């Protein structure tokens, strides 16, 4: 099984209604997929998280050095890509390009060996993962929570036991929305908040203290990802667990987060942090520091299957007779690409998503629909 062809696809879908968060507005879904085909006709899929057109150009840049390489040599493939980009891509979009290719290689390797990726990573510690709903984005600045109740009731009907809401509109506005959401969902549903690095350290300390009474399970990306020591200081001044990592890259970046004791939870996006090859090493680092992992996911839905295989292999931390649930992010905003492109569809049963057992990632792309979405 040698790499014969590498194809990239930009898929796009205009949203029926725009939504926004603390940084910018979303008016469309846009992501980059990669398909790697081998000389025996097998293929694997990958996805890069980041600006789709730039991710695509990164894949095109790497393509010439990969043709003819053996799929079984995934570590060698990764190292070759990393070495080729080291001088100017230790972080950022080219790392997402590496990640997309690496994910597709793992998908192919699983098909070659007739095993799910979770088994190739070292085995499955668990057969199901608890998803949390990411939603409660803002539809208007004037009344950002006007549709929250309908949205929350829908999440509860779907079986979600944990919900993550967006914040970052200002401390008083955030507290008003958090109070309202907690009132609607009650005290039995876990609630997390995500500021998308909208706050300074001083603001984050004030907000965290004021929202502790609402039983927040974690405070995600409160501060710019550049400020490792500020994260540490925030951790020391709040009882709410602090999480970050979707804006971090490679084991070296996550080592900075962990060595500085910046977070309680790391959140690598496997489709941008370096792929499954690198995420496995990041997982080992997290184990050394005793820090939990909850991967970030976004995009076509392929990334959720990647994360399911990865989370299945995360070593229990700590070990005990009754294992704690591990969580996976499941974005609930409008996404026809995810709903129509991915085969099979994701199913929540009794509050959990089962780990795929088919060879590779356990997912395929509806290529008829791909042709409708691609640009």
Check if the beta carbon of residue 187 is closer than 8 Å to that of residue 157: no
Q: Which one of 197, 227, 255, 296 is the catalytic residue?
A: 296
- pLDDT (mean) for 174-186: 96
- pLDDT (mean) for 295-304: 96
Is 139's pLDDT higher than 90?
Answer: no
Classify burial at 159, counting beta carbons within 10 Å of its beta carbon; exposed 0-12, middle 13-18, buried 19 or more: middle
pLDDT for the residue 375: 87
Please, which residues have CB within 8 angstroms of residue 71's CB and are 6 or more apart in sequence? 1, 2, 3, 36, 38, 44, 105, 108, 109, 112
Q: Helix %, strand %, coil % for the chain, to 5?
A: 40, 25, 35
Is 141's pLDDT higher than 80?
Answer: no
Question: d(Cα 171, Cα 207) in Å, to the nearest integer?
Answer: 6
- Other beta carbons less than 10 A from residue 106's beta carbon: 28
Classify burial at 199, counting beta carbons within 10 Å of its beta carbon; exposed 0-12, middle 13-18, buried 19 or more: buried
More confident residue, 91 or 262: 262
Is 255's pLDDT higher than 90?
Answer: yes
CA 310 to chain centre: 11
pLDDT for the residue 146: 78
Instruction: Express each pLDDT in 43-89 by its tens digit.
Output: 999 999 999 999 999 999 999 999 999 999 999 999 999 999 999 88
- Alpha-carbon distances, residue 82 vs 87, 97, 118, 196, 246 (angstroms): 9, 11, 23, 28, 19
- Return the half-sphere exposure (C-beta side, CA atoms, 13 A cut-off) of residue 370: 16
Question: d(Cα 251, Cα 286) in Å, to the nearest integer?
Answer: 10
Q: Alpha helices, DSSP H only, in 238-327? A: 250-259, 275-289, 302-312
- Other beta carbons less than 10 A from residue 276's beta carbon: 28
- pLDDT (mean) for 341-366: 96
Across the strands, what pairs with 192?
A: 164
Of 307, 197, 190, 206, whose CA–CA distance to 248 is shortest? 197
Residue written as tokens 């020591």? Answer: 229
Which domains does the chain carry? 3-114 (3.30.390.10), 119-368 (3.20.20.120)
Is 296 a known active-site residue? yes
Structure tokens belonging to residue 50: 């980041």
| pTM (two decimals) | 0.96
């Amino acid at each position: 099984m040698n790499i014969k062809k590498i194809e990239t696809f930009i898929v796009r879908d205009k949203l029926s209604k725009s939504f926004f968060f603390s940084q910018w507005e979303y008016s469309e879904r846009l992501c980059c997929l990669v398909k790697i085909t081998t000389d025996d006709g097998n293929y694997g899929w990958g996805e890069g998280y980041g600006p789709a057109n730039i991710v695509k150009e990164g894949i095109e840049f790497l393509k010439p050095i990969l043709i003819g390489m053996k799929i079984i040599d995934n570590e060698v493939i990764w190292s070759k890509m990393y070495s080729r980009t080291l001088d100017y891509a230790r972080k950022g979009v080219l790392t997402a390009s590496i990640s997309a290719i690496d994910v597709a290689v793992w998908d192919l390797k699983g098909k070659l060996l007739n095993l799910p990726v979770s088994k190739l990573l070292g085995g499955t510690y668990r057969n199901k993962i608890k998803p949390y709903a990411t939603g409660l984005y803002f539809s208007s600045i004037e009344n950002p929570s006007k549709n929250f109740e309908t949205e929350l009731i829908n999440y509860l009907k779907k079986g979600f036991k944990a919900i993550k809401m967006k914040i970052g509109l200002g401390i008083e506005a955030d507290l008003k929305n958090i109070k309202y959401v907690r009132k609607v969902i009650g005290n039995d549903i876990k609630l997390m908040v995500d500021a998308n690095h909208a706050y300074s350290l001083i603001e984050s300390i004030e907000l965290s203290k004021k929202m502790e009474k609402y039983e927040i399970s974690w405070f995600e990306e409160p501060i710019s990802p550049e400020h490792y020591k500020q994260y540490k200081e925030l951790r020391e001044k709040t009882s709410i667990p602090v999480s970050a990592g979707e804006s971090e890259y490679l084991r070296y970046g996550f080592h900075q987060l962990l060595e500085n004791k910046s977070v309680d939870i790391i959140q690598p996006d496997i489709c941008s942090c370096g792929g499954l090859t690198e995420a496995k090493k990041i997982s080992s680092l997290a184990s050394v520091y005793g820090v939990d992992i909850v991967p970030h996911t976004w995009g076509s839905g392929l990334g959720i299957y990647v994360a399911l295989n990865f989370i299945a292999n995360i070593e229990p931390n700590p070990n005990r007779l009754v294992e704690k649930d591990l969580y996976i992010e499941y974005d609930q905003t409008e996404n026809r690409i995810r709903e129509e492109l991915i085969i099979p569809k994701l199913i929540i049963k009794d509050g959990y998503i089962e780990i795929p057992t088919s060879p590779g990632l356990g997912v395929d792309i509806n290529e008829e629909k791909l042709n409708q979405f691609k640009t």
